[in-house]
Amino acid sequence: MTCFRGKLFGKPLFVIVVIMKTPGKNIAILHLIIGLALFVIFLITGRYMRLDFPDKDIIPQDLRLLMRSRHIYILFTALIHIVLGAYMQIRPLAWQKALQYAGSFILIVSSGLLVWAFIVETYQLQHFSNISRYGIYVSLAGVGFHLFGGLNSRPKE
């Protein structure tokens, strides 16, 4: 644990920074927190859809399919983050570590896109747009970065 002292706008400032022995755990914990938060968002959006559209026969089937698919995309991104939070191990080589951190950033961006797509496409446009498409493509890129960054490059003995 490290403590920094200084002044901010003339006021005393004390900042305590906790440095973990395994820095890769920080990103894994971040993925776990984001994944659990997205899972809660998934539950909330499901409840919201049930309350907002109780009679499924009245709404057009294409809108219903659009709503349900965007809702499932939120579960999809939540599960990616939860799995990464549980199993992620930062690799020692710099290029692998860079790919893993870049993949994590890209997956966080994709999660934002997919939640935004649910709101915009389901309730504002009530029609398909490119937001969800880009969210899925960006998720694919993030998973690819993690895949290549996480491969074990040591020769087998």
Compute the distance between CA of residue 33 and CA of residue 134 in angstroms, rounded to an integer: 23
- DSSP letters spanning the chain: -EEEEEEETTEEEEEEE---S-THHHHHHHHHHHHHHHHHHHHHHHHHHHHH---TTTS-HHHHHHHHHHHHHHHHHHHHHHHHHHH----SSHHHHHHHHHHHHHHHHHHHHHHHHHHIIIIII-S--HHHHHHHHHHHHHHHHHHHHHS--SPP-
pLDDT band per the 50, 70, 90 thresholds, residue 156 = low
Task: Tell whether the model's pLDDT for residue 1 goes beyond 80.
Answer: no
Residue range 40-89, pLDDT digits in tens: 999 999 998 888 776 777 778 888 888 899 999 999 999 999 999 998 98
Task: Tell whether the model's pLDDT for residue 147 goes beyond 60.
Answer: yes
Residue range 27-41, pLDDT digits in tens: 999 999 999 999 999
CB atoms within 10 A of CB 119: 13
CB 75 within 8 A of CB 37: no
Q: 4 has which bridge partners?
A: 15
- Distance, first Cα to last Cα, the chain: 38
pLDDT at residue 77, as a whole number: 97
- Domain range summary for the chain, segments of one domain joined by +: 2-150
Nearest to 129 by CA among 114, 112, 117, 111: 117
